[in-house]
Chains A and B, each alone.
Chain A
Amino acid sequence: MSNNGRPLSPHLSIYSWPITMTTSILHRATGLGLSVGFIVLAAWLLDAAVGAEAYSAMVSYLDTTVGRVLLVGWSFAFFFHLANGVRHFVWDVGRGFEIRQANASAWFVMILAVVSTAGFWWVRT
């Protein structure tokens, strides 16, 4: 079948995954992850009020390998969702819709989220 060398995308073997797809999926995924994180935040605040025993039991769950991985995940989710949320605000006023702009802002948000997460834990530790 001749197609004059035109790309056939989207097709299974040559589909070029757009970075904007990644940021779109990540925005929803990190949002859901942060909703789960809300449970931990509420538990942290409530257990702090309940007393030293309940508080240290709650914190000891977070001070495990699994807990630390989750906390790093939540910090990344927070910075990504925040940065990409600002990207959505820019779209809401009708700017940044050109493909090149959207791709550039997607990469910018990804990099900013990773750097912010690293910076947060660099300050924290």
Chain B
Amino acid sequence: MVCNDPCCRLHSRFLVGAHMSLRTPLGQVLGQGSAKDGTGHFWGQRVSGMALLVLGLWFAYSMATIPGFSHSEALAFIAPPLNAVLLLLLVASLGYHSNLGVQVVIEDYVHGHATKLVSLILSRFAHTFLAVAAAYGIIKIGLGA
């Protein structure tokens, strides 16, 4: 941060000490940190995690108490509007949360620049594909098409 202490303002052009920030003025304004993307990843992971806490427990409860896993029993579970909406929210937040998690793992363990970039793009494509495929299935069953 810029130091507004009077002594600092008076002498800043002469002093290089603890009161002076090493960050550039542009960096201070943008507030993005050294990773250049701020706290967006952190917040995305936490908020989707909170959603999954609720949706995940609902899904686990449903899977424990669903009468069986025949085709008709699966349809009877997926089709009701409330279940379909909760399932849509589940696959959306799961795809988002999982993509953020896998992204960190790739960034940690895949080292070549090109390999890392390709892995990150493929991971995002795969997560988007899975979420959209699951959503298509839920909506198709929900609308009885």
Partner-contacting stretch, out of A13-21, A47-55, A101-109: A47-55
Chain A interface, >50% SS class: helix
Q: With a CB–CB cut-off of 8 A, which chain B residues contact A73?
A: none
- From A32, A75, A85, give the contact of B105 (CB < 8 A): A32
**A39 CA to B56 CA in the complex, in Å?**
16
- From A52, A78, A120, A123, give the contact of B71 (CB < 8 A): A52
Q: With a CB–CB cut-off of 8 A, which chain A residues contact B131?
A: 42
Q: With a CB–CB cut-off of 8 A, which chain B residues contact A92?
A: 46
Contact between A56 and B98, CB atoms less than 8 A apart: no
Of chain A, the residue at the smallest CB distance from B104 is: A28
**A32 CA to B46 CA in the complex, in Å?**
17
- From A45, A50, A85, give the contact of B49 (CB < 8 A): A85
Query: Interface residues, chain B, CB within 8 Å of chain A?
Result: 46, 49-50, 52-53, 56-57, 60, 63-65, 69, 71, 74-75, 78, 87, 91, 94-95, 98, 101-102, 105, 127, 130-131, 133-134, 136-138, 140-141
